[in-house]
Amino acid sequence: MTPDLTPAALALGALVTDLDDDRRARPTPCTGWSVADLLDHLDVVATGFTALARGTEGDGRHRPLPDALDEMAVAWRDPAAWTGTAGAPGPELPRATWGRIGLTELLVHTWDLARALGRPLPALPDDLLRVALDHVLVFVPRAPLPELWGTPVAVAPDAPLWDRLVGGTGRTP
């Protein structure tokens, strides 16, 4: 299944609007990162994964983060984004794996920001969360850059999908 990243991009984009300096300074579940640090990371993620999907180097333009996230989702709608292999922004992997990494970035950081900002988790389609969970369970234990993920946290197999997803990336739900 080729997932549509749009619901995740929209949910995350809704969390990053209208953040004052106090909220931007709050800590996140990403060790040592404030909300502002996480927003900077997400800007790099959106730009990098858009370029990866398009097979380009990016255009260097800065966009508001919600727009950049939307552009990322649109780029991954192209079936060509999911075929072949690619080596940027990291090791050579199947493009379908990169797409799932991008989806996981969107979802896990949605959870991080919702937690940091004291906001409820958005309602997202279970099938989208399952795609990311299946990816995390297979990919994270043997990821080529294991330092990007925390040690998985044990979560009950019947726990909510969000809990199992973030637990698989080292977060405590």
Structure tokens at 163: 């809990």
Tokens of 94: 């199947």
Q: Which domains does the chain have, with CATH numbers?
A: 6-123 (1.20.120.450)
Residue 119, SS3 per DSSP: coil
Using a pLDDT cut of 90, give the percent of the chain over it: 77
Query: Which residues neighbour 109 within 8 Å (Cβ) at sequence distance 6 or greater?
Result: 12, 30, 38, 41, 42, 45
Nearest to 106 by CA among 146, 163, 68, 62: 68
Residue 70, pLDDT score: 97
In terms of pLDDT, which residue wins out, 76 or 138? 76
| High-pLDDT (> 70) share of the chain, % | 94
Distance between CA 97 and CA 121 in Å, rounded? 25
Res 7: pLDDT: 98
Length of the chain as a residue count: 173
- Decide: pTM greater than 0.85: yes
From 71, 150, 156, 53, select the one nearest 111 (Cα to Cα).
Answer: 150
Which range (26-40, 61-75, 130-144) has the least confidence? 130-144
- Residue 116: exposure state from Cβ atoms within 10 A (0-12, 13-18, ≥19): buried
